[in-house]
Amino acid sequence: MPYLFTSESVSEGHPDKVADQISDAILDEYLRQDPASKVACETLVTTDFALVAGEIKSKAHVDAEPIIRRVISQIGYNRPEYLFNADTCEVMNRLHEQSPDINQGVERASDEEQGAGDQGMMFGYATRETANYMPLALDLSHRLLEELAKIRKAGHEMTYLRPDAKSQVTIRYADDNTPEGIDTIVVSTQHDEFDESEEKMLARISDDIRHILVPRVKAGLDAETQKLFTDQIVYHINPTGKFVIGGPHGDSGLTGRKIIVDTYGGKGAHGGGAFSGKDSSKVDRSAAYATRHIAKNLVAAGVADQVLVQVAYAIGVAQPVGLYVTTYGTTKAKGPNGQLLTDGEIAEKVNKLFDMRPYAIVQRFGLRNPIFAESAAYGHMGRQPGTKQVTMGNGETRTFETFTWEKLDYVNRIKAEFGL
């Protein structure tokens, strides 16, 4: 019988995402000045207060305060009534030097033998459900909030919007795991005070979400996905009622508390390590990107309709201790005898194609470049690769690729290896 699956997203103004964006902006500044920087930056935000703390090994000299204030302002917290204001909030910096005990496990005489920055397992996932090989419920949840932020920043419609918001989408699936329709959409958005009653205020917000936001999101989707938007959708718009107090004044925010929003919305799996504020020597981040790249290229090449890849490391050791692949029974690739390949056989071929040592991952995706701030809101996976120009610490202007782990640059190699 049909079943339901739900994913959520949060906006760039959500307190935890404010913290993520500050941490990644500070990371980017260290990398801009010194690409070899080792950074672990954690951020706490609450009422008119932002604290950064963590461990750094770098030749760079970074003044964190103006970066923190810039990020907060760009998000939209720039009015006194928000009680979290880029211009006036207190800022505290508790960044300090990285432990030499940790550093000795990471750095080696040969760059190629760079050890993993920590033990642990990381997962990457991909599915044919969407054009960007992401789970549909999460993709739609992100799209709702990205479009809501565009409307807020344009300032022409829904002029009452404030930066904090959350979304949630529930998809109804058929027995063959194909989406049948959207069952429920939840949107909660922070807003200004209204002159009218709470009942009229909520009615206006609900009407605007249904007739301004949702049609814009729908218009950007392919025809098959558009068909999932029916009159049967249940909407919950600001279901708790008034939502004026929000952002870091409403709830404190911490780096790394939205790891499921950052990845696959509850599909696949997650190893538990957060991303933002960590340089690429931390395999929590770099190996999660690498496994997403593998899974996406496998699905795009036609090996399977759905793939989960796990890699695991021991701290200070370059070679992974294991690599695991599951296709959830959706394998299409066959061996020489015409039988479908087992997941173990697929993993063996993946091991031949992809060098999963930390240094190789860093080189493959350019992870010493200052490209991380863009990933800190609306998901690290499923994003469109692009470019950004950065003036480096030496005054040179360079162009870097962003979201390099989303490139489909291994499809032909995979097809050759698997005989597809």
Domains of the chain are 3-10+135-247 (3.30.300.10), 120-127+280-418 (3.30.300.10)
Rg (CA), the chain: 22
Q: What is the pLDDT of residue 420?
A: 86
Q: Is 376 annotated as a binding residue?
A: no
pTM for this predicted structure: 0.94
Q: Is 318 annotated as a binding residue?
A: no
Helix (H) or strand (E) holding 49: strand 49-57
Q: Is 257 annotated as a binding residue?
A: yes
The answer to whether the beta carbons of residues 389 and 397 sit under 8 Å apart is yes
Q: Is 333 annotated as a binding residue?
A: no
Q: Is 258 annotated as a binding residue?
A: yes
3-state helix, strand, coil in the chain (%, to 5): 35, 25, 40
Closest by CA position to 5, among listed 184, 203, 152, 236? 184
Closest by CA position to 51, among listed 277, 282, 275, 258? 277
Q: Is 166 annotated as a binding residue?
A: yes
Q: What is the pLDDT of residue 97?
A: 84
The answer to whether the beta carbons of residues 383 and 375 sit under 8 Å apart is yes
Q: Regarding beta strands 397-402 and 386-391, do their DSSP bridges make them parallel or antiparallel, or are they unpaired?
A: antiparallel
Q: What is the pLDDT of residue 1?
A: 76
Spatial distance between the Cα atoms of 324 and 320, rounded to a whole number of angstroms: 11
Q: What is the pLDDT of residue 403?
A: 98
- Which residues on neighbouring strands pair with residue 397, listed in sequence order? 391
Q: Is 16 annotated as a binding residue?
A: yes
The answer to whether the beta carbons of residues 14 and 262 sit under 8 Å apart is no
Spatial distance between the Cα atoms of 118 and 110, rounded to a whole number of angstroms: 19
The answer to whether the beta carbons of residues 350 and 365 sit under 8 Å apart is no
Q: What is the pLDDT of residue 100?
A: 59
Q: What is the pLDDT of residue 154?
A: 94
Residues of the chain with pLDDT under 70: 98-113, 115, 117
Q: Is 211 annotated as a binding residue?
A: no
Q: Is 165 annotated as a binding residue?
A: yes
Q: Is 42 annotated as a binding residue?
A: yes
Q: Is 355 annotated as a binding residue?
A: no
Q: Is 279 annotated as a binding residue?
A: no
